[in-house]
Homo-oligomer: A and B are copies of this chain.
Amino acid sequence: MKILITNDDGIHAPGVHKLAEMASRYGDVVVVAPDGPRSAQSMALTITIPISAKIIKRERNITWYQCSGTPADCVKLACSQLLDSAPDIILSGINHGSNTSVNVLYSGTIGAALEGAMHDVPSIGFSICDHSLEVSFEYCLPLFEQVLANTIKYGLPHDICLNVNAPVGPVRGMRLCRQSAGRWANDFTRDNAPRTTDFYWMVGDFFNTEPDETADQASVELGYVTVVPIQIDMTAYSAMEHCKKIVE
């Protein structure tokens, strides 16, 4: 079994080390992770400058590559150049921070998992809903391992990957969910730069606008580890009828 791992918090974040340790019980692991934080990089690719990657550590059955690119770059580079053959499974995370609801679209962690699905390899993005680098993975790790073991056993449909989120602290179980509706507001704080025009720091408040408590945001708040299958096909089939008026 050959397992590729990446993340978006960078190669020094505790989450990717926990994930590599857990995965190394299932096969040989190659980590190709960004050299620093790449949060909120979505599926961004690096196309205007070259990227590089080098091995920084080999220990037991884990090889660690540090890469100058985005999480999606890391998956592309690993599959295209660094690995001798395609990985059997691709894991991304464990992200320090929530990727529930609409955050799935901004997430570098999930961008990497979607890139994995594009390479037709079963791929999973794991997140814990706390930004702290000191967060404990004690409670969620057994359920993450169940998701990994069952994905190895059953595979995933083509062009689909998993977005797995865990609450902080004890968990009530695991739930298969759909993505919650949600919104960000109050996106920036404005400040005065010393030598230039005004500048803006992204901040933001998240609002769960989803009434269904079985969707992922409410479920993780209720203490469940949530599993949302997500797909590469973004087509809004439900909008086809409405859109006929726009093209006619």
A residues contacting B by CB (< 8 A) are 37, 39-48, 50-54, 70, 72-73, 76-77, 79-81, 102, 104-106, 111, 114, 118, 120, 146-147, 150-151, 154, 156-157, 159-160, 162-163, 174-176, 178-179, 181, 183-188, 190-191, 193, 196-202, 227-240, 242-247
Contacts and interface: CB of A to CB of B under 8 A. Distances in A.
A150 B118 contact: no
B51 A202 contact: yes
Given A53-B198, A146-B247, A229-B240, 17 more contacts: A39-B47, A41-B44, A44-B44, A47-B202, A53-B197, A73-B202, A76-B188, A77-B187, A77-B188, A79-B187, A80-B187, A154-B242, A156-B243, A162-B246, A175-B247, A178-B237, A228-B235
B160 A236 contact: yes
22 contacts: A40-B44, A40-B45, A40-B47, A42-B42, A50-B200, A81-B190, A81-B200, A105-B114, A120-B183, A146-B247, A147-B247, A151-B246, A154-B245, A157-B238, A157-B239, A157-B242, A159-B181, A176-B243, A228-B235, A229-B240, A230-B234, A230-B235
Contacts of A114: 105
Contact of A52 (B42, B178, B200, B231): B200
A92 B128 CA distance: 33
B54 A48 contact: no
Contact of A44 (B42, B79, B235, B237): B42
Contacts of A238: 157, 231
A234 B43 contact: no
Contacts of A178: 233, 235, 237
Contacts of A233: 178-179, 181
Contacts of A200: 50-53, 77, 81
A201 B51 CA distance: 7
A11 to B, nearest CB: 15
A157 B243 CA distance: 9
Contacts of A44: 40-42, 44, 70, 106
Nearest to A225: B247
Contacts of A104: 234
B45 A162 contact: no
A105 B234 contact: yes
Contact of A230 (B43, B46, B118, B236): B236
